[in-house]
Chain A
Amino acid sequence: MGRAGGGGVTGWDRDRPVEGTCPGGGRILNTGATGGRITARFKRLAAEGRAGFIPYVTAGYPTLADTRELLAGLADTGADVIELGIPFSDPMADGPTIQRSSQGALDQGTTVADVFAVLAELRESSEVPVVIFSYLNPIHARGPDAFIGRAVEAGADGILPTDLPLGADPALEAALEASPLDLVRLVAPTTRPARVRAIARASQGFVYYIARTGVTGARRELRGELAREAGAVRAVSTCPVAVGFGVSTAGHARLVGAAADAAVVGSALVDRLDDGGVAGALELARELRAALDEVRPG
């Protein structure tokens, strides 16, 4: 028994990032595999002058069949990266909507194996980059090595553990960083400048800027300071910066798309899924994608 990382070293050996570039998508030396779907997608977006669209999906909600349909639909609707959420019993960073979707998925009996299975199915038809969003305990319970192995095998490109802040568990963080998965880090409005720089340096694939102090959940308004704050993170980051938490409407998407490299939308899609099913959620996804295409990242 060691720390949450189990002291495990995955045995992956990742290409060192080139100085001044985002350390995502390096070639994996000992397998010859080339990761980097996330980085490639952001490069393409930058070349086209477009902001990225990152929808979040709670795997297994309302059912696994819906998740399959939703993932395929989002890939067709112009999602640039999909955040695939592993439902967790105690989602302490999430508001009522994602608490409800997580509990709903668990009540359906959704397992971690099911989540990887729907991802593997998506991979039969789509190359859309996928980031696994998870609380730490499901990763710890399986053991980080086994978890990463299964995620890579299923076709994941990145991993975003909500409750693993920079420096919390150096052995585990090193194992995740060395793996083929991009370890996406979060910056909060409360994060002090020196730490923002350290997080931006350590993040792989992209940096996730949390739009407000608080939990996830759809909102009417975004804060006025958000554009400036996202700009400040971009200024010190070699990685693209995505903004999420509360981004709910086409208007929000335009605001975020003009200030950052991508917008993450979660709770609003789950709410729409409740009201209008998969078709309704995909309709919102199309609106958001169109809104993002009306602006250019600043």
Chain B
Amino acid sequence: MTPSTPVDGRFGPFGGRYVPETLIPALDELAAAYEEASADPAFLSEVDRLAADYVGRPTPLYRARRFETVAGVGPVYLKREDLNHTGAHKINNTVGQALLARRMGKPRIIAETGAGQHGVATATACALFDLECVVYMGTEDVERQSLNVYRMELLGAEVRPVDSGTRTLKDATNEALRDWVTNVQGTHYIIGSVVGPHPFPLIVRDFQAVIGREARRQILEAAGRLPASVVACVGGGSNAMGMFHAFAGDEEVALIGVEAAGEGLGSGRSSAPLSEGRPGVLHGSLSYLLQDADGQVAPAHSVAAGLDYPGVGPEHSWLKDSGRARYVSVRDGAAERAFRALPGLEGIIPALETAHALAWVVEAGRRGEVEGPVAICLSGRGDKDVVHVAGLGGGDGPGRGWGRDGVGS
């Protein structure tokens, strides 16, 4: 079994704390506070209480029978993280970290966001606990996710557009780290994925692990067995780590992470570091990374703003290299078709990020390359993407993206 407890802040060789010296005391403080909190029954019961009363957990595990007929594999279960308050899995982490910040006496919260889901979830937790909230967001994402910008502002957060570099999640993360270096004494950085310096990948994974704990119990009840395949989309990889963690010790369960191939692997327009990157250091940890020969970070591309990131969480790199998980990828077009098709089949509009996982199951299912039962993490709802996808045009009507021949091209 692949060890899932980091040693010296590392998953295998990956992870670590490659940060400016200024942040070292804050990371030490955070690691100590988290260790203490995670052994404190009062803290854990408050996390559980908020999960139930505020977030709306447990989320259902729903069997998607019409989807099964299209995918040619079954049974398929959707873990409905889209039904969480704020519409995605992100809030599992932000409520936990906001509680941690309050415990550490930090009155100010910063966050980065790509699709805006983590920004909204952070703004929500900050409203709940009366914490000041600043969210950094690339200007390209501000444009394609304007609804979420308005939601964050409505929730009392200040959204700071980031116009440097590629103007997406990577650059928003740089700017959040710069803010943290500058205001470290009174500020906690609620990082949105299983990335960043230790202990962030561990903390975010632990707060998201509720997804897989529930799903494992629910599928045992519903199917009378463990799933053969567990599938989730991977950008930074927080919904995937949350889904995978409870199954990591079940060797018979295949763990499959779906990256964004953008316009295709090898096109230079993708967001699939586990599929075509090499290990490198970005945002404080060593992990697979899209980069050139000189170590300059390569621009990522995905139609899904939440996957548009050249790096990935270090635990995923370790799951890949140790062979415990498999990482595949799906192009923009296939994800868009999944986005259009699921609503008409199941009455569920998935986020574009999530649509990558659905698209892969259909592609692999039709080729007979995925074994059921399948559990897919339906990480978020797609309302935020409706305007963007409508603007892309394309001939498929609602529910028709998965006609007999229309998949996988």
1/0 contact trace for B266-297 toward A, CB 8 Å? 00000000000001111110100101111111
Query: Is A44 close to B, CB under 8 A?
Result: no
B181 and A93 form a contact (CB under 8 A): yes
A136 and B291 form a contact (CB under 8 A): no
Query: Is A210 close to B, CB under 8 A?
Result: yes
Query: Is A195 close to B, CB under 8 A?
Result: yes
1/0 contact trace for A124-140 toward B, CB 8 Å? 00000000000111111
Using A168-B16, A190-B25 as known contacts, say yes or no to A215 and B178 having CB atoms under 8 A apart: yes
Distance of A65 Cα from B166 Cα, bound (Å) = 27
Pick the interface stretch among A34-42, A158-166, A234-242, A261-269.
Answer: A158-166
Residues of A within 8 Å of B297, CB to CB, are 89-90, 137
Residues of A within 8 Å of B183, CB to CB, are 213
B286's nearest neighbour on chain A, judged by CB, is A4
A163 and B284 form a contact (CB under 8 A): yes
Query: Is A281 close to B, CB under 8 A?
Result: no
A140 and B19 form a contact (CB under 8 A): no
Interface size range of chain B in the complex:
35 or more
**Nearest CB in chain A: distance from B51 CB, A:** 33
A188 and B21 form a contact (CB under 8 A): yes
Query: Is B17 close to A, CB under 8 A?
Result: yes
**Nearest CB in chain A: distance from B214 CB, A:** 34
Query: Is B20 close to A, CB under 8 A?
Result: yes
Residues of A137-154 whose CB lies within 8 A of B:
137-142
Query: Is A169 close to B, CB under 8 A?
Result: yes
B20 and A169 form a contact (CB under 8 A): no
**Nearest CB in chain B: distance from A139 CB, A:** 7
Secondary structure class of chain B's binding surface, majority of residues: mixed
Query: Is A2 close to B, CB under 8 A?
Result: yes
B21 and A2 form a contact (CB under 8 A): no
A138 and B295 form a contact (CB under 8 A): yes
Query: Is A223 close to B, CB under 8 A?
Result: no
Distance of A103 Cα from B22 Cα, bound (Å) = 24
Number of interface residues of A (CB under 8 A): 46
Residues of B191-228 whose CB lies within 8 A of A:
none
Residues of A within 8 Å of B280, CB to CB, are 137, 140-141
A199's nearest neighbour on chain B, judged by CB, is B21
**Nearest CB in chain A: distance from B47 CB, A:** 29
A90 and B282 form a contact (CB under 8 A): yes
Query: Is B69 close to A, CB under 8 A?
Result: no
Query: Is B13 close to A, CB under 8 A?
Result: yes
B178 and A95 form a contact (CB under 8 A): yes
Distance of A277 Cα from B211 Cα, bound (Å) = 57
Residues of A within 8 Å of B185, CB to CB, are 190, 213
Using A90-B282, A138-B294, A140-B295 as known contacts, say yes or no to A3 and B170 having CB atoms under 8 A apart: no
**Nearest CB in chain A: distance from B65 CB, A:** 43
Residues of B within 8 Å of A111, CB to CB, are 294
Using A95-B178, A213-B182 as known contacts, say yes or no to A137 and B281 having CB atoms under 8 A apart: yes
Query: Is A1 close to B, CB under 8 A?
Result: yes
Using A4-B18, A93-B181 as known contacts, say yes or no to A141 and B295 having CB atoms under 8 A apart: yes
Residues of B143-184 whose CB lies within 8 A of A:
164-165, 170-171, 174, 177-178, 181-184
Query: Would you mind naming 25 contact pairs between A and B with Cβ atoms under 8 Å apart?
Result: A1-B13, A1-B279, A3-B10, A3-B16, A4-B279, A88-B296, A92-B174, A137-B281, A140-B286, A141-B291, A141-B292, A141-B295, A162-B20, A163-B18, A163-B20, A164-B18, A165-B21, A169-B18, A187-B21, A188-B22, A188-B24, A190-B21, A190-B185, A191-B22, A215-B178
Interface residues of A (CB under 8 A from B): 1-4, 88-95, 99, 103, 106, 111-112, 135-142, 162-166, 168-169, 185-192, 195, 199, 210, 213-215
Nearest first, the 8 A-B pairs at minimum CB distance are A141-B295, A138-B295, A188-B22, A214-B182, A137-B295, A89-B296, A93-B20, A188-B21
Interface residues of B (CB under 8 A from A): 10, 13, 16-26, 164-165, 170-171, 174, 177-178, 181-185, 279-284, 286, 289, 291-297, 321
